[in-house]
Chain A
Amino acid sequence: MATTSTTQTLSSPSTQEQPRTGTWDGGNEPFKASYGKLMMWFFLLSDAFTFAAFLTTYGLMRHRHLAYTGTNEAFEFSTAYWPIPDKVFNAFPGLHGIDLPLGFVALMTMILIFSSVTMVLAVEAGHRMDKKDVQKWLLWTILFGITFISCQAWEWSHFIAGTDEGTLMEDGTRFFGANLQRNQYGPVLFADLFFFITGFHGTHVFSGICLLIWSFIATTNGTFEKRGHYEMVEKIGLYWHFVDLVWVFVFTFFYLV
């Protein structure tokens, strides 16, 4: 505790410089939010536009193609119509050949929601200036983030490798799995949109993990403690919740609907 108080007294910026009070020199905080947090909100808004463009494209392309009209039991993969997601995403690691519709993606959703919870807990610990708790919850968040992205890696490799049976394509050959030009599940764009939407989301998770690791190191070094607040953890938290939020929408529009 002795070290804490020394670092606190050494650096209180308000005593070293005149506080800014004028309207045009930073004295006013628009919306009563700090500059950094406000800019994070606007960045997330612009990022939401990109994801919305992806999901809107998915909606457009799905309605542009024919829908499958038969019963769920009689469903077969065909390039003629858009596949039912339950039939595409029904595999679980270690349980080969067992039909578990959306089982793995349910697990991934839970992991990401849980990582969001540990992130709020880290932000809450930051408000209390509790360095140990911030470290603990940041580590949990990093762990869940890495678990999520590993699950996605498995899902991608399974999607690319395909099912045992493959699908008889229009040109009479049997095709397994997916690439950007052909896929066994449905129209070409189905796999393309899968790669782009989940890939773009995964990239966001990856950069989130990098930011979290950096903030864990900074917390451990006492950077935020010296600064007197953990606002950086809060801003990274906003980004991390946004990634979770996007997954909620990807989950609905790609896997459920």
Chain B
Amino acid sequence: MAQHSSNQPPQLGEIPKPNTGWIWKTFWVLVGITALEFVFVFLMDPGTLRNTIFIILTIFKAFFIVAEFMHLKHETKGLIWTILIPMGLLIWLLVALVSEGSYVGESIQNALN
């Protein structure tokens, strides 16, 4: 993105005009996704499908915050993968332990009955 490349300090004594269009665009995307989440909270019955939608929307929001606000999209590929690969492994941990939780819960119920 060209508007990010203005990292050089400007000429002395003169301050360039702010370039904030992309910031507000990202802001409205985040507001829009949050509003959409609330539409689903009120118009859809709870269930796996709704939870999946929430998680996908959350990943979208996270993408915009990390890529634009934290500027990761404009860093080198090496840095991007250094951050993303460990986070990807955490998804594995989450899936593994959530299914473990269901199993433990079932075992306790079976032992009680």
Is the beta-carbon distance between A64 and B105 smaller than 8 angstroms?
yes
- For chain A, the count of residues having a C-beta within 8 Å of the partner chain is 61
* Contact A248 to B61, CB < 8 A, known contacts A4-B13, A64-B108, A242-B70: yes
In B69-84, the 8 Å CB interface with A consists of 69-70, 75-76, 78-79, 82-83
Main secondary structure of the interface of B (DSSP, over half): helix
Is the beta-carbon distance between A116 and B65 smaller than 8 angstroms?
yes
Q: How far is the CA of A130 from the CA of B6 in the complex (A)?
A: 13
CB A183 to nearest CB in B, in angstroms, measures 19
- B110 contacts partner chain A, Cβ-Cβ < 8 Å: no
Q: Which of A41-49, A154-162, A200-208 lies on the face that meets chain B?
A: A41-49
Q: How many A-B residue pairs have CB under 8 A?
A: 146
Could you mark each residue 59-95 of chain B with 1 if its beta carbon is under 8 Å from any beta carbon of chain A, else 0? Answer: 0011001101110000110110011001100100110
* Contact A41 to B54, CB < 8 A, known contacts A59-B98, A113-B30, A256-B37: no
- A60 contacts partner chain B, Cβ-Cβ < 8 Å: yes
**B15 neighbours in A (Cβ, 8 Å):** 128-130
**A30 neighbours in B (Cβ, 8 Å):** 78
Is the beta-carbon distance between A102 and B9 smaller than 8 angstroms?
no
Is the beta-carbon distance between A49 and B90 smaller than 8 angstroms?
yes
- A217 contacts partner chain B, Cβ-Cβ < 8 Å: no
Is the beta-carbon distance between A249 and B58 smaller than 8 angstroms?
yes
Residues of B within 8 A of A (CB): 6-7, 9-10, 12-13, 15-16, 18-20, 23-24, 26-27, 30-31, 34, 37-38, 41-42, 45-46, 51, 54-55, 57-58, 61-62, 65-66, 68-70, 75-76, 78-79, 82-83, 86-87, 90, 93-94, 97-102, 104-105, 108-109
* Contacts beyond the supplied A30-B78, A130-B15, A238-B70: 19 A-B pairs with Cβ under 8 Å: A4-B13, A41-B82, A45-B87, A48-B87, A60-B97, A63-B102, A72-B46, A101-B41, A110-B34, A113-B31, A116-B65, A117-B23, A128-B6, A129-B9, A133-B18, A237-B69, A241-B70, A245-B62, A256-B54
Task: Jot down 22 A-B pairs with beta carbons below 8 A, ordered by A.
Answer: A31-B78, A33-B76, A45-B82, A45-B87, A52-B90, A59-B97, A59-B98, A59-B101, A63-B99, A110-B31, A117-B23, A117-B24, A128-B6, A129-B15, A133-B18, A241-B65, A241-B66, A241-B70, A244-B65, A252-B37, A257-B51, A257-B54
